[in-house]
Structure 1
Amino acid sequence: MAHPPCQRWGRFWHGSTRKPHQFRKGEDEGCFAAALAAVRRWGGALEHPADSHAWAAFDLARPPRSGGWVRADFLGGWTCHVEQGWYGHFSRKPTWLYANGVDLPALIWGPGEQRLHPVALERHGYAKARRIGMAAMIGGKRKTEIREATPPAFRDLLLSIAASAVPAPLAGGK
Structure 2
Amino acid sequence: MADGACFIQARPAVAVLFARCDSVYKSDPRCDVYDIDRDARTWLGGMPVVAHPPCRSWSRMRTFAKPRPGERDLAVWAIDQVRRFGGVLEHPSGSALFRELALPRPGSTDRDSFGGWVMPVSQKWWGHRAEKRTWLYIVGADPSSIPAFPLSLGEAERVCGLWSGRDRSRARKEIGPAEREHTPPALALWLVDLAASTAVDSIQAVRHG
TM-score by length of 1: 0.71
Q: Structure 2: which 5+ runs fail to align?
A: 1-49
* Distance in 2 between residues matched to 1:125 and 1:14, nearest whole Å: 31
Contact 2:124 2:156 in 1 (8 A): no
Task: Give the corresponding residue for 1:166.
Answer: 199
Instruction: Give deviations 1:124-156, integer Å, cap 9, x for gaps.
Output: 266xx3xxx64x3x3xxxx21111111111000
- Equivalent residues, number: 147
Work out the CA distance in 2 between the residues paired with 1:105 and 1:78: 15
| Residues 21-170 of structure 1 mapped to structure 2, 5 A cutoff | 28-64=71-107, 70-102=109-141, 103-108=145-150, 112-115=153-156, 117=158, 124=168, 129=171, 134=173, 136=174, 138=175, 143-167=176-200, 168-169=203-204
What is the Cα deviation at residue 116 of structure 1?
5.2
Indicate how the Cα distance of structure 1 residues 125 and 44 shifts in structure 2: closer, same or farther if over 3 A, else same.
same
- How far apart, CA to CA, are the structure 2 residues paired with 1:51 and 1:105? 24
The change in CA–CA distance for 1:71 and 1:107 in structure 2 (over 3 A counts) is farther
How far apart are the structure 1 equivalents of 2:169 and 2:74?
40
- Higher helix residue share: 1
> Of the two, which has the highest radius of gyration?
2
Partner SS for 1:124: coil
The change in CA–CA distance for 1:7 and 1:112 in structure 2 (over 3 A counts) is farther
Point out which structure has higher relative CO (alpha carbons under 8 A, 6+ apart): 1
The percent identity for this pair of structures is 34
- Gaps of at least 5 residues in structure 1 are 17-21
Letter in 2 for 1:70: T
Q: Give RMSD over aligned pairs.
A: 2.9
For normalisation by structure 2, the TM-score amounts to: 0.60
After superposition, the Cα gap between the structure-2 partners of 1:116 and 1:160, relative to the gap in structure 1 and judged at 3 Å, is closer
Q: Distance in 2 between matches of 1:124 and 1:57?
A: 38
Structure 1 moving runs of 4+ over 4 Å? 120-123
CA displacement at 1:115 relative to structure 2: 2.8
